[in-house]
Structure 1
Amino acid sequence: MSRRRTLQTALVTAVGAALAACARPAGERAAPVASARGWRMPDETHPHELTYMAWPTRRNWGADTSGVRNDIAGIARAVARFEPVVLLADERDAKAAAKACGSGVEVLPVPVDDLWMRDTGPSFVLPSDGSKGIAGVDLNFNGWGNKQPHTHDAHVAREILADGEIRRIKAPIVGEGGSIEVDGQGTLMATESSWVNDNRNPGKSRDDIERALKDLFGVTTVIWVKGVKGQDITDYHIDALARFSEPGVVVMSTPDAEAPRDVWTDAYDQARGVLDRAVDARGERLEVVELPEPVDIGRRGADFLASYVNYYVVNGGVVLPRFGDARADRDAVAIVRELYPGRQVVQVPVDTLGEGGGGIHCATQQLPEER
């Protein structure tokens, strides 16, 4: 049974049955744990069956709840123009979420703490031999190193995989989907700060983690950049810094030349140096494309994520943030169109979401089509 049909069936199940299912012991609902070997993670341009998202809760966003829900609804509607969207929401929020997102978005009543589906949801992999099949890697989300309690979000990956009857691969390491970026051809990029960190993987070396990443995602080359520890809740995810637009091409979120020197500009310089010298799994040097960050965006909080690179590739399109810097917004669209020829680029505002330290990619997770 396809994941889409399974999810639609779940949506018409009585709320009481859904809640009872969620209350069962985890061992009764989890799909069988599969070996990590024999799987590979496709790049984001691989066709999607659907996109998963989650609805923000008032307990986590407080006075900003209305604003961030508007942002998430806008992203969901934009993605739904290109492919189906399944949005997880607390049962008490499900009706309001469905109304805000419109008929193109299916709402699945599953308890969540927050909206960060890229990190809480499974990272999907396909058989490396090209055969039919799919599995989901559960990276054991722990609230970005126990910085926040996420009682429900710690189980989101398992809930999605059990609901979709998708086999589950329980990772031997702790991390988040936003902390990896793959080219689909054997290369993975990651920041050391979000992986080689005692708040997630105490006692594990970079080599230990690299071996696990290679096994989990079917890659042969891991490109590490240093990142920044302790300055944001994620310890600096790669998907806010650098992305593969295609094998051999990396697009980087690039600070303004006159930006003040700080830990972020230093992290960019270090990462740029690494990527300028790096060789991918094919033995080829990388081409680095700059995607300038916006400058004229008014007063923003210290955690505001002003990164166009945190876009999301959908079937036939790219959903890109709009920050209100007219020139930078326009330039970002032009650059992304060149990077993804033939795809429609749609910009959406993410003002409140950005204040929470995240963006469009952070709020989405693709379910790839089986091939």
Structure 2
Amino acid sequence: MTHYRDDRSTEPYPWVPADDVPHARTWMSWPSRRGVWGLRLGGVQEDIALIARTIAEFEPVVMCAPDDWTAGKAQSWCGSGVEVITAIPTDDLWMRDTAPVFRRDGYGGLDAVVLNFNGWGNKQVHHDDARVAELVATRRGLRHTFADFVGEGGAIETDGDGTVMATESSLVNKNRNRGMSRDEIEEALLEAYGADTMIWLPGIKGQDITDDHVDVTSRFVRPGTVMVQLPPADRNNAWARDAREQFAILSAATDARGRRLQVVPVHGPDTVRSRSSKFVDSYLNFHVVNGGVITAQFGDAYKDAAARDALAVAFPGREVVQIDVDRLMAGGGGIHCSTMHEPLP
């Protein structure tokens, strides 16, 4: 597919493809800072290693580590199937937000766009993480540009066919984009993603470090089709109301091609093993890989199986693998949050 600015233009322009295109590799980051994770660090490292080993069964994985000692530990836990490098130091593990967003350049290659990561509105140390996107792009030899707004990859979902969606709470927020209107942010985002149509979801400010990233609740699975995770019927907290609102808005939305979106509900677990108030009980924070989909399980046998079956239908021909990453998800993010895919050109 070649994208053009308008029907009169003969110059193609870069665009961000959907997650399910063939990948060259997945990028990850090894957590190492006790100042960020405290006593939970060891358990989170085990979960990151499990995610990396699982993905490596499907496609190459590059794990960034801040120094040689840390890299040695990461290599021993992740195994020889994962490439660990120290050339790109990091503060934390959330590569979906710190890595560049890779684009097809319209000429048979790739370029990248840097979303100017600022620690989710300066909520966390990010001296090294702020440079990750540029360093990854440079290591891959890719031309890269800087977006005209501040954001994170996990805040934005694209169908690869002209439509993107995001929560206002994450992006139309003075902690990222002070002084910019929603229309100005939308224009800059569509330019960066090479898209035509924006779907805004209200979201929730100030309840988590991301200000409610869309990739926990609503995900494109193909052009014209989106999945939304709904809470149990008896749950009515802010997150439950947010999920139901996203479902309603997306059910009435049309995409860049004029299609009324098909919205597929996935029901969240009734019970989880964790007692953490930050726990993310999301099946939809999955990572699509070559030939597979990696998602979480929570020990709720019925809902785990139903989510697995829904993803198998959504991504036919791919193996759905569910893993226990409770320690990671108790930290406020999940599998998709900790990964960034690099598509093939």
Q: Provide the TM-score with structure 2 as the length reference.
A: 0.94
SS state at 2:255 partner: coil
- Amino acid in structure 2 at the alignment position of 1:153: D
- Amino acid in structure 2 at the alignment position of 1:39: P
C-alpha spacing 1:298/1:97, structure 2 compared with 1 (3 Å)? closer
Residue 212 of structure 1 corresponds to 188
Residue 112 of structure 1 corresponds to 90
- The answer to whether 1:143 aligns with 2:83 is no
Residue 255 of structure 2 corresponds to 280
Structure 2 residue runs without a partner (length 5+): 1-11
Matches of 1:243 and 1:157, distance apart in 2:
23
1:320 offset after TM fit, Å? 0.8
SS state at 2:312 partner: helix
- Amino acid in structure 2 at the alignment position of 1:82: F
Instruction: Write out aligned runs for 1:330-369 (5 A).
Output: 330-369=305-344
Match of 2:29 among 42, 54, 58: 54
Instruction: Write out aligned runs for 1:314-329 (5 A).
Output: 314-329=289-304
- Amino acid in structure 1 at the alignment position of 2:310: I
Matches of 1:154 and 1:57, distance apart in 2:
16
- The answer to whether 1:296 aligns with 2:271 is yes
Count of matched residue positions in the alignment of Structure 1 and Structure 2: 331
SS state at 2:199 partner: strand
Instruction: Write out aligned runs for 1:160-309 (5 A).
Output: 160-259=136-235, 261-309=236-284
Matches of 1:273 and 1:292, distance apart in 2:
15
1:249 offset after TM fit, Å? 0.8
Structure 1 residue runs without a partner (length 5+): 1-36
SS state at 2:148 partner: coil
- The answer to whether 1:38 aligns with 2:19 is no
Residue 312 of structure 1 corresponds to 287
1:58 offset after TM fit, Å? 3.2
Q: What is the percentage of aligned positions where both structures have the same residue?
A: 49
SS state at 1:185 partner: coil
Matches of 1:181 and 1:228, distance apart in 2:
17
Match of 2:131 among 155, 163, 173: 155
Match of 2:75 among 95, 98, 115: 98
SS state at 2:173 partner: coil
C-alpha spacing 1:80/1:41, structure 2 compared with 1 (3 Å)? same
- Amino acid in structure 2 at the alignment position of 1:81: E
Matches of 1:298 and 1:61, distance apart in 2:
20
- What are the Cα deviations for residues 226-284 of structure 1, in whole angstroms up to 9, with x where unaligned? 0000000000001001001111110011101111x221122122212211110001100
Matches of 2:134 and 2:73, distance apart in 1:
25
Matches of 2:274 and 2:288, distance apart in 1:
29
Match of 1:133 among 109, 129, 132: 109
Matches of 1:316 and 1:180, distance apart in 2:
23
Matches of 1:323 and 1:70, distance apart in 2:
17
Residue 6 of structure 2 corresponds to none
Matches of 2:226 and 2:108, distance apart in 1:
29
Residue 82 of structure 1 corresponds to 58
Matches of 2:189 and 2:66, distance apart in 1:
32
Matches of 1:187 and 1:64, distance apart in 2:
38
Matches of 2:268 and 2:239, distance apart in 1:
12
Q: CA RMSD in A?
A: 1.0
Matches of 2:177 and 2:47, distance apart in 1:
33
- Amino acid in structure 2 at the alignment position of 1:107: V
Matches of 2:330 and 2:214, distance apart in 1:
18
Matches of 1:358 and 1:269, distance apart in 2:
20
Matches of 1:228 and 1:216, distance apart in 2:
24
Q: Provide the TM-score with structure 1 as the length reference.
A: 0.88
- Higher mean alpha-carbon deviation, 317-326 vs 223-232, is at 317-326
Matches of 1:217 and 1:333, distance apart in 2:
30
Matches of 2:282 and 2:192, distance apart in 1:
28
- Amino acid in structure 2 at the alignment position of 1:106: E
Structure 1 outlier segments of 4+, above 4 Å: none
1:299 offset after TM fit, Å? 4.4
- What are the Cα deviations for residues 151-204 of structure 1, in whole angstroms up to 9, with x where unaligned? 111111111111111111111110000001010110001000000000000010
